[in-house]
């Protein structure tokens, strides 16, 4: 599904800043991969680059999604292909309601891929179901997107979007940070319920705790812009015990 | 009844969506999306081939008399016009044309304007029914999407259309008159309801008020008149649609709306004009009189030709709008301005009566070379009066937007409250937004709040929306509409959609 080769990334604004220094990664369809590592290692940058954030510049390397390069595609084109990112810090957009925004997003994708759009009734049904499933306060979701939401509520809103948009590759950028156990379970439930042979997840996380609920197929440790170790779920447990010290020489 | 209302709402929506999407083709030229005159499609920029009767250019006492006689006005009105004209001449002689606003334009030659332009109809009298209206004119209104025929009934909106200086037709006159509601052209009101006009004309905006009000009082062409009897809630939106067609003509309409005690009315005006290389002056006066316990809601969607993208031509919109609210009365202004080369106006409320309420909601767009110096004045005189101001200015291209607001608390205004929110959105790096708030408080029991913000459409917001599949342009539009929501939601439902579409079309090309 996702194949990354020798990816070097810097800042668009400043050529001298180098963040990712040669990433190789292969995420087959149907698998859940975790990216862990110390702060400042480049985990969030990695997630944002996959989504196409213009602040970052790819100096060399390739990113292939289902065999085709996505380097030249803007974020909306990537979304149309089925790539989704749950943001670490979801931004507030005053006056824009989640309902209308998600309908517009789905319609946009339908237009781009030549699929049939959901009718207003069909969408309302799906929306209401997912709001209940994800455990979001029905009053809150009538307000402006993320405005006045607590950290936990914002993260739940990201999961709501995941459930409604049903992407093919979902990148979760530190979705677990700032969550209590109940919210953590909701996030895990959201991911686990969507696991399928046609879908892949890339979970960027700082702590091993989320991985208790979402069993990854592979775990990668990202330190100082490079993947320094790859292993199975037991790697996460090991890192939780002994930290990242051994990689920081 | 419920079902009827439902269908009404559906037709309203269809009517408006059709209105927006109708392609303008006329006999002389086709104006298409690829027009080089502007970087956006000014869809309403066609001209109609109708014979027009023009008074000679220039302004003199003779012209004023001519206008009055053409409209068969009573003597007292002619006298009023003449007093206004002499006052204006006096101001002109003393070089008192105002120039304190933050707008720039070439000095106007007031003698180089047609002050009277009326389409010539086959019969020399006002039409009694649709069949009598000049078919070419009706076709023009069709193009604009204002069907004056029976289809209009489904929309539930009574429409008065002013084509240059003459009101063409008012639908629903009969139904409304059953309730005692008068809604007709201003000219008709001077003939059929002179006592009402005489009582209230100039009571909110006297002819001495300002330079352009004086000019308007002398040469006003037509406009709308509405009177709602005591205790009556007007059951439908009253709407007037203005269009300036003749090259070089000015539009000086006069609107007077009176809500008698305990009554309610929601009024909407829409404005458009064809693309012309020369500028056109629009100096209107609107007076609202809200007697005890009444409410007037006045909404405007203004889309006068804004000039070419190089700043040529366009309408100069210099308007005086003011309302007076008596005891426990309420006046709300909701303004959506996307057009005009220059906009200079301050819809205001005089909170004369105790417990009266004034509201002002505005979204003003200045794109390309547009300039706007707009705002409001809330004058608190009675006790326990309340005013709310929400002003949103969008600047793009090389546009310049100035908010000029005045909140005055007079010594008699015990326990007055005001809340002002003034937000600016800047798109691109060549536009400007300025704020000039005046606050004058002469009673220490007043409570005022003033908030202001200036922002750009943030990259984070754009990236967030785009990452969900919205294109850059769609994302911009969504953010801007969301930002304007506090104002758009005050519009009557049907027109909220139109306003949102108008903002989108007006900003095409400025974003992304």
Residue B469 and residue A105: Cβ atoms within 8 Å? yes
Q: How many CB atoms lie within 10 A of CB B315?
A: 27
pLDDT in tens, chain B (512 residues): 566 665 565 555 554 444 433 322 222 221 111 112 222 345 555 455 555 667 777 788 888 998 888 888 999 999 999 999 999 999 888 887 888 888 888 777 787 777 776 655 433 344 445 555 555 555 555 555 554 543 333 333 445 555 444 444 455 666 788 899 998 888 889 999 999 999 999 999 999 999 999 999 999 988 889 999 999 999 888 887 665 555 555 678 899 999 999 999 999 887 765 555 566 788 899 999 999 999 999 999 888 777 777 777 778 888 999 999 999 999 999 999 888 888 899 999 999 999 999 999 999 999 888 889 999 999 999 999 999 999 999 998 888 999 999 999 999 999 999 999 999 999 888 888 999 999 999 999 999 999 999 988 888 999 999 999 999 988 988 999 899 999 998 988 777 877 888 888 788 766 65
| Chain A interface mutation, best of B361, B468, B481, highest count of A Cβ atoms under 10 Å | B468
Tell me whether B470 touches chain A (CB under 8 Å).
Answer: yes
Residue B484 and residue A101: Cβ atoms within 8 Å? no
3-state helix, strand, coil in chain A (%, to 5): 40, 25, 35
Chain B residues whose CB is inside 8 A of the A95 CB are: 481-486
Q: CA–CA separation, A209 vs A190, rounded Å?
A: 16
Among B465, B467, B474, select the one facing A51 at the smallest CB separation.
B467
Contacts of A51 (CB under 8 A, 6+ apart): A75, A78, A83, A85, A171, B463, B467
Q: Phi-psi region for residue A79, left (φ > 0), alpha (ψ -120 to 50) or beta?
A: alpha
Q: What totals of helices (H) and strands (E) does chain A contain, helices first? A: 8, 10
Among A54, A74, A161, select the one facing B468 at the smallest CB separation.
A161
The interaxial angle of helices A120-134 and A151-165, nearest 10 deg, is 140
Nearest Cα of chain B lies from the Cα of A238 at a distance, in angstroms, of: 34
Nearest to B69 by CA among B191, B236, B230: B191
Residue A76 and residue B458: Cβ atoms within 8 Å? no
Q: What angle do CA A137, A141, A143 make, to 5 degrees?
A: 125
Residue B470 and residue A93: Cβ atoms within 8 Å? no
Nearest Cα of chain B lies from the Cα of A241 at a distance, in angstroms, of: 35
The answer to whether the CB of B220 falls within 8 A of the CB of B189 is no
Q: CA–CA separation, B243 vs B273, rounded Å?
A: 5
Q: CA–CA separation, A162 vs A201, rounded Å?
A: 11
Q: Within 13 Å, how many C-alpha atoms sit on residue B318's CB side?
A: 22
Chain B residues whose CB is inside 8 A of the A102 CB are: 468
Burial group, residue A5, by CB count within 10 angstroms (0-12, 13-18, 19+): middle
Residue B469 and residue A80: Cβ atoms within 8 Å? yes
Contacts of A218 (CB under 8 A, 6+ apart): A27, A31, A33, A34, A230, A231, A232
Which tokens belong to A150?
């607590």
Q: CA–CA separation, A207 vs A187, rounded Å?
A: 14
Which tokens belong to B134?
């000049």
Q: CA–CA separation, B213 vs B156, rounded Å?
A: 33
Q: CA–CA separation, B203 vs B186, rounded Å?
A: 16
Looking at chain B from residue 435 to 464, which residues have their Cβ under 8 Å from any Cβ of chain A?
458-461, 463-464
Chain B residues whose CB is inside 8 A of the A108 CB are: 468-471, 474
Q: CA–CA separation, A200 vs B441, rounded Å?
A: 64
The answer to whether the CB of A75 falls within 8 A of the CB of A51 is yes
The chain B residue lying nearest A92, using CA atoms, is B461
Residue B467 and residue A76: Cβ atoms within 8 Å? yes
Identify the structural domains of chain A with CATH numbers, from first to last: 2-247 (3.40.50.300)
Q: Residue B39: what pLDDT?
A: 29
DSSP calls for B122-140: SSSS--SSGGGS-HHHHHH
Nearest Cα of chain A lies from the Cα of B168 at a distance, in angstroms, of: 39
Task: Specify the pairing of strand A56-65 against strand A68-69.
Answer: antiparallel
In DSSP terms, B119 is beta-bridged to B52
In DSSP terms, A248 is beta-bridged to none
Q: What distance separates the 2 farthest-apart alpha carbons in chain B?
A: 68
Tell me whether B344 touches chain A (CB under 8 Å).
Answer: no
Residue B469 and residue A102: Cβ atoms within 8 Å? no
Tell me whether B304 touches chain A (CB under 8 Å).
Answer: no
Q: CA–CA separation, A82 vs A99, rounded Å?
A: 20
Q: CA–CA separation, B66 vs B54, rounded Å?
A: 11
Tell me whether B483 touches chain A (CB under 8 Å).
Answer: yes
Which tokens belong to B129?
């029914």
The answer to whether the CB of B424 falls within 8 A of the CB of B395 is yes
With a cut of 70, which residues of chain A have pLDDT below it? 249
Nearest Cα of chain B lies from the Cα of A147 at a distance, in angstroms, of: 12
CA dist list (Å): B149 to B19, B125, B135, B177, B226: 15, 20, 12, 19, 21
Q: CA–CA separation, A221 vs B448, rounded Å?
A: 57
Q: Residue B301: what pLDDT?
A: 87
The chain A residue lying nearest B486, using CA atoms, is A95
Element containing residue B196 per DSSP (H, E): helix B194-200
In DSSP terms, B363 is beta-bridged to B336, B392
Q: CA–CA separation, B141 vs B166, rounded Å?
A: 14
Task: Specify the pairing of strand B400-409 against strand B432-441.
Answer: parallel
Q: How many residues does chain A have?
A: 249
The chain A residue lying nearest B484, using CA atoms, is A95
Q: How many CB atoms lie within 10 A of CB B400?
A: 21
Residue B485 and residue A161: Cβ atoms within 8 Å? no
Q: CA–CA separation, B141 vs A238, rounded Å?
A: 76
The answer to whether the CB of A154 falls within 8 A of the CB of A187 is no
Nearest Cα of chain A lies from the Cα of B20 at a distance, in angstroms, of: 20
Q: CA–CA separation, B312 vs B395, rounded Å?
A: 18
| Chain A interface mutation, best of B469, B476, B489, highest count of A Cβ atoms under 10 Å | B469
ipTM of the complex: 0.94
Residue A112 and residue B469: Cβ atoms within 8 Å? yes
The chain B residue lying nearest A91, using CA atoms, is B461
Burial group, residue A196, by CB count within 10 angstroms (0-12, 13-18, 19+): exposed
Q: What angle do CA A138, A143, A148 make, to 5 degrees?
A: 105
Q: Within 13 Å, how many C-alpha atoms sit on residue A87's CB side?
A: 20
For chain A, list residues whose CB is within 8 angstroms of any CB belonging to chain B.
Answer: 51-55, 74-76, 78-80, 84-85, 87, 90-91, 93-96, 101-102, 104-106, 108-109, 112, 144, 161, 165
Nearest to B303 by CA among B364, B358, B239: B364
Q: CA–CA separation, A233 vs A217, rounded Å?
A: 6
Which tokens belong to A173?
């950028």
Mapping DSSP to helix (H, G, I), strand (E, B) and coil, where does residue B374 land? Answer: strand
Residue A53 and residue B463: Cβ atoms within 8 Å? yes
Which tokens belong to B380?
């608190």
Report phi then psi at B340, rounded to 5.
75, 140
Using a pLDDT cut of 70, give the percent of chain A over it. 100
Q: Residue B376: what pLDDT?
A: 95
Chain B residues whose CB is inside 8 A of the A93 CB are: 461, 464-465, 478-479, 482
| Chain B interface mutation, best of A50, A74, A93, A167, highest count of B Cβ atoms under 10 Å | A93
Mapping DSSP to helix (H, G, I), strand (E, B) and coil, where does residue A115 land? Answer: coil
Q: Residue A201: what pLDDT?
A: 94
Burial B465-495 (b: 16+ CB within 10 A, else e): bbbbbbbbebbbbbbbbbbbbbbbebbbebb
């Amino acid at each position: 599904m996702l194949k990354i080769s020798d990816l070097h990334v810097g800042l668009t604004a400043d050529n001298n800043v180098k963040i990712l220094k040669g990433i190789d990664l292969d995420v087959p369809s149907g698998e859940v991969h975790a990216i862990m590592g110390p702060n400042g290692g480049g985990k969030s940058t990695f997630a944002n680059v996959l989504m196409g954030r213009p602040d970052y510049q790819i100096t060399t390397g390739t990113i292939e999604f289902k065999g085709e390069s996505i380097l030249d595609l803007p974020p909306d084109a990537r979304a149309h292909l089925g790539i989704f990112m749950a943001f670490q810090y979801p931004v507030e957009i005053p006056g824009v309601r989640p309902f209308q925004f998600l309908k517009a997003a789905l319609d946009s994708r339908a237009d781009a891929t030549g699929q049939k759009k959901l009718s207003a009734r069909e969408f309302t049904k799906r929306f209401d179901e997912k709001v209940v499933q994800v455990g979001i306060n029905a009053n809150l979701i009538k307000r402006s997107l993320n405005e006045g939401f607590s950290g936990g509520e914002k993260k739940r809103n990201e999961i709501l979007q995941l459930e409604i948009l049903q992407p093919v590759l979902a990148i979760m950028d530190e979705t677990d940070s700032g969550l209590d156990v109940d919210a953590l379970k909701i996030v895990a439930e959201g991911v686990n319920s969507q696991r399928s042979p046609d879908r892949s997840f890339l979970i960027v996380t700082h702590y091993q705790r989320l991985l208790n609920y979402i069993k990854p197929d592979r775990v990668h440790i990202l330190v100082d812009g490079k993947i320094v170790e790859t292993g199975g779920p037991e790697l996460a447990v090991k890192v939780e015990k002994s930290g990242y010290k051994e990689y920081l020489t | 009844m419920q079902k009827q209302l439902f269908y009404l709402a559906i037709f309203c929506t269809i009517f408006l969506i059709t209105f927006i999407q109708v392609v303008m083709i006329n006999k002389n030229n086709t104006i298409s999306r690829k027009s080089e005159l502007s970087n956006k499609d000014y869809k309403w920029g066609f001209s109609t081939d109708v014979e027009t009767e023009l008074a000679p250019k220039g302004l003199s006492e003779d012209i004023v008399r001519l206008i009055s006689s053409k409209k068969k006005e009573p003597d007292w009105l002619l006298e009023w016009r003449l007093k206004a004209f002499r006052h204006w001449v006096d101001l002109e002689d003393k070089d008192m044309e105002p120039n304190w606003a933050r707008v720039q334009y070439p000095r106007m030659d007031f003698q180089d304007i047609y002050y009277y332009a009326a389409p010539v109809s086959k019969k020399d009298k006002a039409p009694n029914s649709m069949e009598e209206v000049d078919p070419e004119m009706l076709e023009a209104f069709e193009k604009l999407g204002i069907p004056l025929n029976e289809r209009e009934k489904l929309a539930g909106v009574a429409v008065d259309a002013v084509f240059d200086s003459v009101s063409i037709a008012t639908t629903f006159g009969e139904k409304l008159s059953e309730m005692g509601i008068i809604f007709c052209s201003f000219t008709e009101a001077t003939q059929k309801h002179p006592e009402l006009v005489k009582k209230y004309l100039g009571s909110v905006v006297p002819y001495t008020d300002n330079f352009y009000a004086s000019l308007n009082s002398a040469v006003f062409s037509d406009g709308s008149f509405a009177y709602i009897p005591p205790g009556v809630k007007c059951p439908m939106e009253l709407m007037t649609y203005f269009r300036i067609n003749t090259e070089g003509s000015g539009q000086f309409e006069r609107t007077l709306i009176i809500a008698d005690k305990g009554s309610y009315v929601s009024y909407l005006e829409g404005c458009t004009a064809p693309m012309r290389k020369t500028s056109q002056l629009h100096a209107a006066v609107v007076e609202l009189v809200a007697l005890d316990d009444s409410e007037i809601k006045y909404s405007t969607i203004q889309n006068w030709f804004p000039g070419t993208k190089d700043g040529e031509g366009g309408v100069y919109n210099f308007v005086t709008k003011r309302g007076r609210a008596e005891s426990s009365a309420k006046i709300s202004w909701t303004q959506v301005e996307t057009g005009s080369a220059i906009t200079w106006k301050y819809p205001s409320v005089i909170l004369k009566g105790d417990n009266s309420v004034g509201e002002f909601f505005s979204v003003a767009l200045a794109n390309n070379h547009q300039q706007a110096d707009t705002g409001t004045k809330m004058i608190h005189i009675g006790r326990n009066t309340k005013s709310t101001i929400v002003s949103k200015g969008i600047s793009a291209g090389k546009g310049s937007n100035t908010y000029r607001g005045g909140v005055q608390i007079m010594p008699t205004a015990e326990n007055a409250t005001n809340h002002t929110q003034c937000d600016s959105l800047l798109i691109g790096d060549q536009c400007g937004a300025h704020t000039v708030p005046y606050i004058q408080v002469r009673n220490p029991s007043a409570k005022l709040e003033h908030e202001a913000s200036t922002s750009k459409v943030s990259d984070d917001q754009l990236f967030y929306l785009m990452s969900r599949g919205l294109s850059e342009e769609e994302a911009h539009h969504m953010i801007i509409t969301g930002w304007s929501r506090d104002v758009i939601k005050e519009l009557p439902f049907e027109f909220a959609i139109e306003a949102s579409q108008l903002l989108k079309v007006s900003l095409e090309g400025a974003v992304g």
